[in-house]
Amino acid sequence: LREPAAVSMKKRLPWLIVLLFLGMGVSSVVGIFESVVAVLPIVICFQSLVLDMAGNVGTQSLAVTIRVLMDENLTLKEGLLNGGCLGLMALAGLGVYIHVCKGYAWGPAFLISGCVGVSLVVAMVISSLVGTMVPMLFHKIHIDPAVASGPLITTVNDLVAVVTYYGLALLFLVNMFHL
C-alpha cells in the first residue's frame, strides 16, 4: 500500500527539521575541537572512520531491533565485541599506516591509532545501545520507529562519536604533541 506524498511528508518533515537543528549542534561541537585539529591535523583524517563505524553499528542495531522489537539482550555485548575487534584492527593497521605513510615515529603513530581504536570501541558500544533503545522507546510511545529512528540514531551517533574521538584526542594526544 502506497501512501500519498503529502501524508509521507507530514510524517517525515518534522523529524528532518528537528534533525537539521541537531546536525547544526553536532557541527558546533566539532568546532569546539578546532584546537585539537590545529595542534594535530592528522586526527581529521580519521574522523569519518569513527563516525561511519558508529553509524554502521547504530543502523544494524536499528534494523535488528525493528525486526525483533523486544530483543533487549543484543546491545552491550555485541557492541563491545564488535567495537573491540575493530578497535584492535584500527590500532594495528592505522599505527603502521601513520608510521609508514605519514612519517610519524612508531610511538606517536600508535598513540594516534590507539585514540582511534578506543574511540571506535566507545562509539560502537554506545551506538549499539542507541540503535536498540530508540526504536524500542518510539514503539512504546506509539511513534513509527521506521520513520523516526534512523535519522535520529545517525545524528546522536555522530554527536557521541565526535565528542568521544576529539575528547580523547584532546585529553591524551594534544598535550603530548603540543610540547
pLDDT tens track for 140-166? 898 877 766 777 888 888 898 999 999
pLDDT at 1: 66
How many alpha carbons lie under 13 Å from residue 88 in its C-beta half-sphere?
A: 5
Cα(64)–Cα(35) distance, rounded to whole angstroms?
A: 39
Mean pLDDT along residues 67-88: 69
Residue environment code for 1-32, b if the CB has 16+ CB neighbours within 10 A, otherwise e: eeeeeeeeeeeeeebeeebeebbeebeeebee
Query: What Rg, from alpha-carbon coordinates, does the chain have?
Result: 18
Q: Whole-number mean pLDDT of the chain?
A: 85
Q: Is the pLDDT of residue 45 over 80?
A: yes
pTM of structure: 0.81
Instruction: Tell me the percentage of the chain whose pLDDT exceeds 70.
Output: 90
Q: Is the pLDDT of residue 49 over 60?
A: yes
